[in-house]
Amino acid sequence: MKPPVIELDNLHVKIGKREILRGLNLELRGLTVGLLGPNGAGKSTLINTLLGFWKPTQGTARVMGYDVRTDARKIRANIGYMPENDSFIANMPAISFVRMAAELSGLPPDAALERAHEALFYVGLGEARYRVLGAYSLGMKQMAKLAQAIVHGPKLVILDEPTNGLDPQARVRMIKLIQEMRALGNMHLVICSHLLRDIEETCEEAVILKAGQVVHYSNLEEERSSNRRFVELETEGDDGTFADAIELLGCACAVTSPGKIKTVLPEGIELRDIYRLAADRDVQLRRLNFRRDSLEDIFLKAMEK
């Protein structure tokens, strides 16, 4: 088993007299992890703790094996961070801004400039890299923040609300970039978002926080593969024996009402086998639905706990 990228070990964090994170225990190994929760759940505090800005009051956290208590500088050298809020110098050209971020991450000036050009072209800002950031649109600013987060080739990138405020076209472009980075497989991504759709489209794992505690962890890849086998059928022309025929294939089956069947497909049985059986028996399949808990269902259940 590969080692965890992020490990939370009885992590407690207080800000002033208020305890924000309360005993978090978790190991995250996926390439892409989604961080979810309502406002005030502790998402930002957790991110700032991983970055070394807040110290644990009890327990600890480890990032790529480095302890946030003792190795914060090593952690920051291996992390890229795209903040939710803009933190630009408005009259600075994008190329200078991203180069500065690369140098602050430890790259020498010449290498930093070369990587800045590469990062800006990668996110689609190659033609606008000499324009000042204050003249950028909201979508361009988000892409510039992404460029400065990845310019030094980090092992882990934390994206805080990466699609915040984007129009539909810009959001699709951002999601595709995140999916491309995941497909490359050379960096891990933690994505903090209040948009469940963003997490569902990009992440392998999801963690839901509520009131400073982990209330749900999901391996989304495993849930997708395990739940995709549950199927609802609506038929026309069934003489009452179609469910029996499906069971003979090896499927668990239940008739919920005339013409409506619920079935679970075992390994080795695919939908084409159901279609073939329906054609052989002259049964019309009027409707067919895969059923699984969506991330929205999971989130709402977690909030009810």
* Claim to verify: residue 112 and residue 235 sit in the same structural domain: no
pLDDT value at 113 more than 90: yes
Domain of 191: which CATH number?
A: 3.40.50.300
Q: Which residue matches tokens 């409707």?
A: 287
Q: What does the pLDDT average to over 267-282?
A: 88
pLDDT value at 229 more than 80: no
What is the reported pLDDT for 234? 92
Q: What percent of the chain has pLDDT over 90?
A: 62
Q: What does the pLDDT average to over 203-214?
A: 93
Q: How far apart are CA 43 and CA 212, in angstroms?
A: 8
pLDDT value at 39 more than 80: yes
pLDDT value at 120 more than 60: yes
Q: How far apart are CA 174 and CA 296, in angstroms?
A: 21
pLDDT value at 264 more than 90: no
Q: What does the pLDDT average to over 76-86?
A: 91
What is the reported pLDDT for 256? 80
pLDDT value at 240 more than 70: yes
pLDDT tens sequence across 132-173: 999 999 999 999 999 999 999 999 999 999 998 899 999 999
Q: What does the pLDDT average to over 102-124?
A: 96
* Claim to verify: residue 13 and residue 159 sit in the same structural domain: yes
Query: Which residue range is the domain that position 170 belongs to?
Result: 6-224
pLDDT value at 227 more than 60: no
* Claim to verify: residue 28 and residue 118 sit in the same structural domain: yes
pLDDT tens sequence across 251-263: 888 888 888 888 8
* Claim to verify: residue 119 and residue 165 sit in the same structural domain: yes
* Claim to verify: residue 279 and residue 184 sit in the same structural domain: no
Backbone φ/ψ region at 235: left (φ over 0), alpha (ψ -120 to 50), beta? beta
Query: What sign results for the dihedral spanned by CA atoms 143, 164, 102, 183?
Result: negative
Within-domain flag for 273: yes
pLDDT value at 294 more than 70: no
* Claim to verify: residue 250 and residue 160 sit in the same structural domain: no
Q: Read off the tokens for 162.
A: 């990466």
* Claim to verify: residue 32 and residue 134 sit in the same structural domain: yes
Between 189 and 292, where is the model more confident?
Answer: 189
Within-domain flag for 49: yes
Residue 107 contacts residue 152 (beta carbons within 8 Å) = yes
Q: What does the pLDDT average to over 177-203?
A: 92
pLDDT band at 177 (very low <50, low <70, confident <90, very high): very high
Contacts 24+ apart (CB under 8 A), 91-95: 91/132, 91/133, 91/134, 92/132, 92/133, 93/129, 93/130, 93/131, 93/132, 93/133, 94/120, 94/125, 94/128, 94/129, 94/130, 94/131, 94/132, 94/133, 94/136, 94/144, 94/147, 95/120, 95/129, 95/130
What is the reported pLDDT for 132? 97
Amino acid at 227: N
Domain of 285: which CATH number?
A: 3.30.70
